[in-house]
Amino acid sequence: MGLESNPDAERAKEVTLARLEDQISWYDRKSTNSRNWHMRLKIGTLVCAAAIPFSAAMGAQAYVGGGLGALVVVMEGFQQLFQFHTNWVSYRGTCESLKHEKYLFLALAGPYATAASPQRMLAERVEGTVSVENAKWVAQETRPEKKDEGRP
């Protein structure tokens, strides 16, 4: 019985492709969001940092330079806390890997060309890619802060 005539196989293929599209969309959105926040914070940091010596040269009150310096610290703190650059790169990489799997599967190319069950292989590879990304995220989120190595 061919794949086309097997309703269970066709349903499995639909579910797998729906899951793949959902994951591609999620990683694409999160990558774009992380990139946008990274760029906003970096541009803000650069503008504020450049404005500090300019404000001093213009004879501005000390609190202007101090406030701009505090903004630089806060924006860099947000960048470190939320890891926008790291997430941008990681999510974009995962999104592109998932797209790669999708196109190989749809063309029955690469490993799918000779697979006994291309749809099953796709499901396993997609879930493997997503699981690796999830494991990286968990490791990052649960990483203990570096401790002073001379202290217990």
Q: 99-135 burial by CB neighbour count: b if 16+ within 10 A, else e?
A: eebbebbeeeeeebeeeeebbebbbebbeebbeebee
Task: Name residues of the chain where pLDDT drops below 70.
Answer: 1-5, 145-152
The Cα angle at residue 25 between residues 109 and 78, in degrees rounded to 5: 125
pLDDT of residue 144: 74
* Tokens read off for 105: 């599967």
pLDDT of residue 3: 47
Closest of 110, 117, 100 to residue 12, by C-alpha: 117
pLDDT of residue 5: 65
pLDDT of residue 59: 96
pLDDT of residue 92: 97
pTM over 0.85: no
pLDDT of residue 9: 80
